[in-house]
Structures are given as C-alpha cells and as structure tokens.
Amino acid sequence: MSKPDREQQLRQGEQRLKDWGLPPDAGVEELRGSIGRDAAADLAIAARLGAHAEPASVEALSALDAASKDKLVRKEVRRSLYRLEQRGITVPRAAASPPAAAVVAPAPEGYLSAVDGRGDQLVWLVKARPGSVAHLFAVLNDPDGLREVDLSETTRKALRAAREQLLARHELRMIEADWRYCDFVIDRAFRWATEKGHAVTGDYPRLRSQLIKEPVTPMAPLIFAHLDPAAVRGDVSLVAESDKVIEEKELRTWFFERQTLQPYIDALVGLKDSPLVLSQAQQQERSRALVERAVEELFGGELQQSWVRRLEELAYFFHATGRAEPAKWVLAAALALEDSTHGGRGIALCETLARSGLAAYLQAEEQQEAEAARSSLVLTPQQAAREAQRQR
C-alpha cells in the first residue's frame, strides 16, 4: 500500500476549508472551531496554524494533536510546533510521567439531553468525591447561550433517581457523553450569552473551577467520531429520506412558533383575500413560491449554523440510543444545510418542518374564518369573491 500523499491531502484539506467558508487568512479561533470534522481539513489546519506566530496557535495545535489519530495530521502538528518554536513562540514540553504510586483523581462524567425545538439542551458534569458526587447542572440554548448553571453535592442513588424522574415525567433522557465535550458546550454557551448580554443564572466560572481545573478543550461534534461525514455526504438518498425522523419522539417539540411563521401565514392568506381573481393554478404557483421562500429563510441567514449544530447534536443522540438510520438521516440534513446557499430548500427534513407548521396554522386560520363567517349575516367582498369563484 502506498504511503499517504501529504501534498494531495493538503490540497483536499484546503478545498474543504474553502467549502466551509474559511479563507486563507482565517484566524486561529476560526480554524480551531473546525478541528475534527475531516482528516484532510485537519492536515490543512495544522499547516496553517504553523504560520500564525502566536501562543493561541500552540494551544490549538495541542488540541488537534489530542483529538486526531491520523499519522499525517499529528506529524504536521509537530512540524508546525517546531516552526513556531523557531519563531520565538514558547512550546511547552510534555510533563514527566507521575510516579507509579501516585493516586489518579477520578475523571468527570458527562451527560447530555436531546436538543428540543427551541434549541434548549440540558447538560450535566458529574465528579466523584469521597462519600458523594459533585453535580454541575446547566441549561443552555443554541444560539442564545447559557441560561442557568448550578453545582450541588448529591449521591449516586439520587442522581440515578433524577435521571429516571426526568425520563418518566418529561420523557427527557440523559445519555452519557465525553465529559470534555460537555464541558466545551457549556463554556461555549457561556461565551455566547456573555457576548450577547444575556443574563445567566449562576456564577459559571466560579462553579466550574470547583469541579475542573484544566482548560476547556475545544471539540468537534461527537457524531463525527462515529459517522464519516464524507460517506454521509456521498449518499444523496439520506437527505431525501431525512424527513422520516419526524416520527421519532424527540422531534415532537420541533415546530415553529406562530409568531415566527406569521409573516408567511399573512402572505398566504393574503393570496386568498386578494381583490384580484386568480385561477387555482395561479394561486398554487404563488403559494408554492411563498412556501419555498419560507423554507429558505427559516433555515438560512443568521440561524443557519445554529440549525446545523442542533441537527448534529440530534444525530449523536440517535446514534447513542441505538438508532443508526435516524442518526444518518439527521447528519445528512445537517451537512446539506451547512453546504447550502438557499437555507433548507431541497432538504427533506427542513422542508417538512416548515411546511407542516404552515399547514397547521393555516388550517387553524381557515377554521376561525369559517366560524366567523357562519356567525355573520354579512359577506365581506373577499368572501363573496371566493364564493363566486367556488361556484364557477
């Protein structure tokens, strides 16, 4: 078997970074946020970081080295760290191994819930202590950020009971996940809330410091450690079938609120109330165009990346709970949305979520209008026009 071609892999990785919207002059934090999604891209990121002569590059390269198992990537990391050291950037050396008799502190544990329709998620960090466990509880939202955080002392039995109660009363299942990832998403949510000026209940930095001493480790979505993004992208049938996950119970809260859809509802109702008498074909064509615009705008713009992250989280939840096909469908929808330049158009899951919401609210609107018409002796001009068209 021939050895991997570094130059070829670098070209592929640069193309992948370009596809993701990362220009050649992308900063360290932008590059760091894309670590772990693709091996070729990781190689290109490692090479680029070697050109950023700043301490943040060393931290990002160390995170990449810890996250990657690819030999080419890890070799490129060492090459870039050497380049940075030659340019005067301090590169910490690996610490000596602790004595064999040293007692290793127990690692924390992480737990995640599924993301609901509003982007809310429950995240736990748990760490064993003599005679008890420390339990950090966080409620976060994508994209608004951290809402609430608290730290308490409890027992294994009480923690197990809390999980069972959440499942029994609210059908909210907490699954085990890499604690470093749980730590990362809580920290990221805190930064989002801080940047947007949103209030957070609880002193997150102080509470975290009581549980974890080491720095936060940026991590890629967990689903990428179990499903190959390239293989999922290459199966176009998965995007077409992605709306099948609507039947999964975790999707029961995935609907748009009335106020979000109101502009599109008003426009669709306006077609029927228009003083212009439109043929059925004309009405259908204008309605179709309005719905397509809704699908594009609802899943595009500022919220597009938030929807991508939510779908990636849901894909991991399905994988972790033994639902392989739904996990692939949702990941396919997430990757298609990430690559899309027209929001959710052409992505079956996005199309179904938008269309079903519009249909439900429109049906309610028509029922209210019909009830109002039955209770009134006077027809409005719009009602008269529609009745005349119906009779014709």
Each residue's pLDDT tens digit, 163-182:
999 999 999 999 999 999 99
Each residue's pLDDT tens digit, 268-278:
888 776 555 56
Q: pTM of the full predicted structure?
A: 0.69
Query: What integer pLDDT is reported at residue 84 of this predicted model?
Result: 84
Measure CA 242 to chain center. Answer: 16
Query: What integer pLDDT is reported at residue 108 of this predicted model?
Result: 94
Each residue's pLDDT tens digit, 313-363:
999 999 999 999 999 999 999 999 999 999 999 999 999 999 999 999 888
Q: How confident is the model at residue 32 (pLDDT cuts 50, 70, 90)?
A: confident
Nearest CA to 6 out of 76, 87, 55, 92 is that of 76
Query: What integer pLDDT is reported at residue 386 of this predicted model?
Result: 55
Residue 375 predicted with pLDDT over 70 = no
Considering the chain, what is the average pLDDT of its residues?
Answer: 87
Query: What integer pLDDT is reported at residue 290 of this predicted model?
Result: 92
The domain spans of the chain are 6-86, 109-219, 231-391
Residue 160 predicted with pLDDT over 60 = yes
Each residue's pLDDT tens digit, 262-316:
999 988 888 776 555 566 777 788 889 999 999 999 999 999 999 999 999 999 9
Query: What integer pLDDT is reported at residue 309 of this predicted model?
Result: 97
Each residue's pLDDT tens digit, 99-146:
554 455 678 999 999 999 999 999 999 999 988 999 999 999 999 999
